[in-house]
């Protein structure tokens, strides 16, 4: 009889417990993380003892007679996300935008983004939320569009570095359940992978540069700029000596420099991406040879001495030439005077031929007379003596 009474009491207690249950609390948590369970109770029970017991979870409020309790349904999921990942590639120093979709029912909910792949800690470690909108290099813009199925919030990251590469989670907060996430994988490339070309030209000569580009960029605008780094790269296609020529038959275009100058030496970048992403650049290092125009560095003092010496040598040579011309002129004048004198002398000789002959005869006769006075030599000339001697020898 006692056993039957105990069994009826147990069944009675079970029925009373079932009828006293007030709905079910659904809770979802991440494996290895903590979870919060909120248990509600009616007014007037603030000072009563509350508890949660194991096995099948129950929220309980102790009171005289039958306790008040609520069943708790706990669901655990792995602390990782997600099956689908959006991959984005960018480059150091550039900005990149990450688009994060969400359902329109969460339009007014808090949005955020964090690094890593742990949903349980994402909100606590958020880089930026929709409440702050701007945090250093990160900016969040929520594109709220009414009467649409899905919305999008965008996170812009500026001045990217290689360390920004990694996993990111876009999150939308939900009050009654786990937050909703979408995964992003960002890869920031370094400048080591940009194609580089070295080329050499000569001053005054034309030069052609070849710039390859992807086939899908056939109809995109081409560019050429000069600068040691992409941040100070200046467009020079407006200069008349630089001309871009497209090549529809191959994935490259040409840059023709009509006449090279020494100042053209330096680093150039050419490509076909309007945003000038470095992955689509070609780096050209141009050196310019002076050719036959060789310039030597001469100290100012030495250069002055050389100039003075050159001037002195020139003046000396000029004076010698001047003096030589003067001597030649004087010789020519002397020769003309000598010819006049000689011609006059000959005329005098032939004009006085009879007198000369007479004098010669007289002189010769005087030499024949031995013992007579010596002849008078005043009026005798060398020619007279010659003729006298000639007559003497004939005798």
pLDDT of the residue at 324:
62
pTM metric for this prediction: 0.50
Q: Of 276, 229, 286, 228, which Cα lies nearest the Cα of 255?
A: 286
pLDDT of the residue at 387:
40
Is residue 218 a contact partner of residue 229, using CB atoms and an 8 Å limit?
Answer: no
pLDDT of the residue at 183:
96
- Count the residues in the chain: 395
DSSP character for 351? H
Spatial distance between the Cα atoms of 116 and 112, rounded to a whole number of angstroms? 13
CA triple 129-135-137, angle to 5 deg? 120
Spatial distance between the Cα atoms of 330 and 324, rounded to a whole number of angstroms? 10
DSSP character for 64? S
What pLDDT digit, counting tens, does each position of 111-160 carry? 999 999 999 999 999 999 999 989 999 999 997 776 667 889 999 999 99
**All domains of the chain in start order, with CATH:** 16-77 (no CATH), 85-189 (2.60.40.10), 195-289 (2.60.40.10), 353-394 (no CATH)
- Provide CB contacts within 8 A for 197, sequence distance 6+: 210, 282, 283, 284, 285
What pLDDT digit, counting tens, does each position of 271-305 carry? 887 666 666 678 899 999 987 544 445 567 777 88
Q: Of 203, 368, 391, 385, which Cα lies nearest the Cα of 295?
A: 203
pLDDT of the residue at 393:
41
- Provide CB contacts within 8 A for 360, sequence distance 6+: 384, 387, 388, 391
Strands 266-271 and 281-289: antiparallel
Burial of 43 (0-12, 13-18, 19+ CB in 10 A): exposed
Please give the distance of CA 325 from its chain centroid, rounded to a whole number: 67
Q: Which residues pair with 98 in a beta bridge?
A: 155
pLDDT of the residue at 367:
42
Spatial distance between the Cα atoms of 76 and 86, rounded to a whole number of angstroms? 26
Q: Of 111, 174, 119, 181, which Cα lies nearest the Cα of 143?
A: 111
pLDDT of the residue at 275:
67
Low-confidence ranges of the chain (pLDDT < 50): 1-21, 293-296, 338, 341-343, 345-395
């Amino acid at each position: 009889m006692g056993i039957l009474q105990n069994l009826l009491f147990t069944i009675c207690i079970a029925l009373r417990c079932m009828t006293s249950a007030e709905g079910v609390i659904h809770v979802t948590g991440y494996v290895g993380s903590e979870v919060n369970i909120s248990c509600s109770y009616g007014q007037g029970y603030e000072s009563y003892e509350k508890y949660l017991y194991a096995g099948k979870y129950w929220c309980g409020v102790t009171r005289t007679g039958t306790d008040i309790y609520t069943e708790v349904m706990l669901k655990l999921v792995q602390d990782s996300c997600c099956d689908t990942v959006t991959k984005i590639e960018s480059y150091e120093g550039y900005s990149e935008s990450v688009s994060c979709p969400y359902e329109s029912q969460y339009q007014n909910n808090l949005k955020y983004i964090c690094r890593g792949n742990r949903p349980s800690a994402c909100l606590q470690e958020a880089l930026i939320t929709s409440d702050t909108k701007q945090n250093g290099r990160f900016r969040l813009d929520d594109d709220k569009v009414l009467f649409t199925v899905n919305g999008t919030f965008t996170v812009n990251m500026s001045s990217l570095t290689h360390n920004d590469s990694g996993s990111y989670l876009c999150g939308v907060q939900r009050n009654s359940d786990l937050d909703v996430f979408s995964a992003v994988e960002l890869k920031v490339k370094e400048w080591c992978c940009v194609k580089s070309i070295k080329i050499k030209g000569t001053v005054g000569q034309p030069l052609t540069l070849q710039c390859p580009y992807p086939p899908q960029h056939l109809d995109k605008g081409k560019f050429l700029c000069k600068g040691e780094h992409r941040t100070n790269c200046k467009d020079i296609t407006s200069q008349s000596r630089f001309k871009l020529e497209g090549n529809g038959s191959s994935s490259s275009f040409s840059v023709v420099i009509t006449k090279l100058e020494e100042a053209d030496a330096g680093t150039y970048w050419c490509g076909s991406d309007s945003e000038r992403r470095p992955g689509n650049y070609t780096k050209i290092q141009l050196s310019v040879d002076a050719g036959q125009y060789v310039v030597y560095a001469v100290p100012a003092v030495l250069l002055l001495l050389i100039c003075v010496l050159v001037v002195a040598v020139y003046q000396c040579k000029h004076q010698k030439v001047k003096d030589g011309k003067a001597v030649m002129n004087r010789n020519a004048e002397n020769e003309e005077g000598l010819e006049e004198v000689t011609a006059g002398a000959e005329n005098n000789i032939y004009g006085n031929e009879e007198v000369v002959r007479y004098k010669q005869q007289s002189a010769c006769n005087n030499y024949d007379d031995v013992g007579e006075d010596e002849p008078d030599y005043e009026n005798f000339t060398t020619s007279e003596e010659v003729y006298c001697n000639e007559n003497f020898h004939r005798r």
